[in-house]
Amino acid sequence: MNLLEVKNLHTHFHTDRGLVPALNGVSFSIKKGEVLGIVGESGCGKSVTSLSILQLLGNKGKIEKGSIQFKGQELTTFTKKQMRKVRGDEISMIFQEPLTSLNPLIRVGKQIAETILLHRENYSKNQAKEHAIKMMKMVGIPQAEEKYSQYPHQLSGGMRQRIMIAIALACNPDLLIADEPTTALDVTIQEQILGLMKKIAHETGTSIIFITHDLGVVAEMVDRVIVMYSGQVVEENDVVSFFEAPKHPYSQGLINSTPAIDQGQKLEAIRGNVPAPANKPNGCPFHPRCPMASDICKTTVPKNTYFGKQEMVNCWLYDKEAKTS
Amino acid sequence: MSKIVEETAKEAFGKVTDEPILEVKNLKTYFPISSGKWFNKETKYLKAVDEVSFYVNQGETLGIVGESGCGKSTTGNSIIRLVEPTAGEVWFKGENIATMKSREFKPFKKNIQMIFQDPFSSLNPRMHVFDIIAEPLRTNKMYQGKDLEQRVYELMDTVGLDPDLANRFPHQFSGGQRQRIGIARAIAVKPELIICDEPVSALDVSIQAQILNLLNRLQRDLGLTYIFIAHGIPAVKYVSDRIAVMYMGEIVEMADKDALFKATLHPYTRKLISAVPSTDPKKRTIGEEQAIADELNQGESDVVGCKFADRCPLARAHCREVRPDLRQLRSGHFVKCHYPLEQEALEENV
């Protein structure tokens, strides 16, 4: 059984300037112990997807349609109180910028202990502190006892991200959502954090959703990739096939425009920009930037084409080649 | 330099000449930091740039890479004196611009332009794009009236912006387009050297490629020389002819691009390169053993020996006692290390 199954998710934001359809029918699933990568450029809906799962959309965002099944439960029907129990306990999240996600006035160790006390009622304060120090050691923080009583500003970016990971893992969640966890870090520190996350996935069997725009991180970390564009999933594949033979022209564009450390090829840029969610083009949202676009792409939204169980592409180019769903 | 090396170098660089357009010698930029005590007379310094020397040849791109806080941006800012250097020389076209009076420096300033990282904060939000691009032309009294208009439209066209958009404000453009505005402003006064400080770090990958390709095209068409400062190693590798690696205010290795990646001499450079994730999922390099914390010690260091010794897997006692000098091990390949990775290279040149 899948740990998480998202089906036909539509999330809209009701802003002062009108309706912004951020997600338009996103479907994917993740198995126990799997690492799933969500890639795409800014404005593609990657982060909104994760915020929808956790229902952290604020008062302007709303899930309009679709279902989110987590361990067989329908999360979209959960009340705020029920969701609060899920967050941080069964599903937790690591954000991009650890300095803004940590409370600057509370000692970092206490922030870890707080999460434990909130979700584990049978823990005493001392037990929670002990557990927090154990977590800090697990994420590789040297002199954990000493660091326990330091404030976030006293720690470096890499250390802060380790604290975030310790908070996220404190209650041993089934699913960890990591939203650009290493984007703000230097490459040598990124290497350490990625190594740490590999270790965690290996030791605890936690499923991870890895949201990133860095294809190097994707190649390094994930088992399966979904590519998002303009609030939709345009391709889904296992990581090796994805890099060897990307199907969607957008995936191909992303790979060709990423400078690689071990190749010296000329970069092929994707022309144009990601459309704003409020004014999407008709037909396939990628067609104005697509080098292969034909007339049908301009008028009609393509259907998903499946190749086996794992592989999916949302593009007219593949429509005749396989059975449409 | 051996003849063969010289010839291949010329072939590789095309129009690049051996004439350095810019030569930086022992550049130091120190920032005073308060010591925390009130009447403490002794001021401590943060050595942001500490005895940095390098040269840039006409028409080439010198990449400067390093992690945040290594002093790469301060180096760029010191060259055009956005930050006043503490000591050292900056020779640009035969003049030492580091010690000039600001009035004397002005004509040189026009020849060195800058492109900044954040296209959101480096453009005046209250100015039309036209005025943003026209401003350096007006300040330097290069064009007036119809000619000015003509020149601005021409520049917009050159960087791939629709001249019809000249009357819009920066917020009406996307990040990539804003970076194009910044580039148009930089090339407006026909500079010879452009310092690009993290020009693509804030952009999405597909847009990054557009901007990198634009910079390459402009270099070819206008004969520009670039100093390309960035922390993204693949991007630096893509645009640069030669690369300098900085660590804690010092250049630790500098070489032709290929030599730097294929015959790496400094342990820090190797660490930096190996930390970059490969885009091939079958070549995963990051292991679980890398999870151990190992942090850059920031700030004022009174390290006597090599500044990298504490993190260096190959450090010996000697490294902690004596600071190594930047020396040339092969033609054009400089390294600041007592025990460089390729020992045979050392023996060859002793």
Question: From the list A186, A259, A269, which residue is nearest B210 (CB)?
Answer: A269
| Chain A residues close to B68, C-beta within 8 Å | 186
Q: Helix or strand or coil: residue B15?
A: coil
Model confidence at B286, pLDDT cuts 50, 70, 90, reads confident
Q: What does DSSP assign to residue A274?
A: P
Name the pTM for this structure: 0.86
Helices (H), B227-281: 233-239, 257-262, 267-275
pLDDT value of position B38: 62
Tell me if chain B has a CB within 8 Å of the CB of A195: yes
What is the arithmetic mean of pLDDT over A117-132? 93
pLDDT in tens, A48-74: 999 999 999 988 999 999 999 999 999
| Chain B residues close to A273, C-beta within 8 Å | 174, 176-177, 207
Model confidence at B37, pLDDT cuts 50, 70, 90, reads low
Predicted confidence (pLDDT) at residue B103 exceeds the cutoff of 60:
yes
Residues in chain B: 350
| Chain A residues close to B72, C-beta within 8 Å | none
Predicted confidence (pLDDT) at residue A322 exceeds the cutoff of 60:
no
User: What count of CB pairs under 8 Å joins A to B?
Assistant: 156
What is the arithmetic mean of pLDDT over B282-301? 68
Predicted confidence (pLDDT) at residue B76 exceeds the cutoff of 70:
yes
What is the arithmetic mean of pLDDT over A112-119? 93
Residue B330 CA: distances (Å) to CA of B8, B13, B349: 15, 18, 7
Tell me if chain B has a CB within 8 Å of the CB of A154: no
Helix, strand, coil percent values for chain A (each to nearest 5)? 40, 25, 35
Adjacent-strand bridge partners of A70: A4, A73
Cβ of A186 and B231 within 8 Å? yes
Cα–Cα distance measured from residue B90 to residue B85, given in angstroms and rounded to the nearest whole number:
10
B292, two tokens:
């151990």
| Chain B residues close to A188, C-beta within 8 Å | 67, 271-272, 275, 294, 296
Q: Which domains does chain B have, with CATH numbers?
A: 3-247 (3.40.50.300), 271-350 (no CATH)
pLDDT in tens, A304-321: 999 887 899 999 998 865
Q: What is the ipTM of this complex?
A: 0.82
Tell me if chain A has a CB within 8 Å of the CB of B43: no
What is the arithmetic mean of pLDDT over A200-228? 92
- Residue of chain B with shortest Cα separation from A203: B288
pLDDT value of position B314: 87
Model confidence at A39, pLDDT cuts 50, 70, 90, reads very high
Predicted confidence (pLDDT) at residue B297 exceeds the cutoff of 60:
no
Cα–Cα distance measured from residue A259 to residue A265, given in angstroms and rounded to the nearest whole number:
8
Cβ of A188 and B285 within 8 Å? no
pLDDT in tens, A133-191: 999 998 888 889 999 999 999 888 888 999 999 999 999 999 999 999 888 888 888 89
Question: From the list A192, A264, A274, which residue is nearest B294 (CB)?
Answer: A192
Cα–Cα distance measured from residue B112 to residue A220, given in angstroms and rounded to the nearest whole number:
40
pLDDT value of position B40: 60
Cβ-contact B257, B237 below 8 angstroms: yes
pLDDT in tens, B175-221: 889 999 999 999 999 999 999 999 998 888 888 999 999 999 999 99
Helices (H), chain B: 3-13, 72-79, 102-111, 129-139, 145-158, 175-187, 205-222, 233-239, 257-262, 267-275, 317-321, 343-349
Question: From the list B206, B233, B293, which residue is nearest A254 (CB)?
Answer: B206
Closest CA to B50 of B80, B17, B88: B88
- Secondary structure, 3-state, A23-62: EEEEEEEEECCCEEEEECCCCCCHHHHHHHHHCCCCCCEE
**From the DSSP assignment, how many helices (H) and strands (E) are in chain B?**
12, 12
Predicted confidence (pLDDT) at residue B81 exceeds the cutoff of 60:
yes
Q: Provide the percentage of residues in chain A whose pLDDT is more than 90.
A: 61
Model confidence at B130, pLDDT cuts 50, 70, 90, reads very high
Tell me if chain A has a CB within 8 Å of the CB of B36: no
pLDDT value of position B12: 40
Tell me if chain A has a CB within 8 Å of the CB of B171: no
B107, two tokens:
């004509």
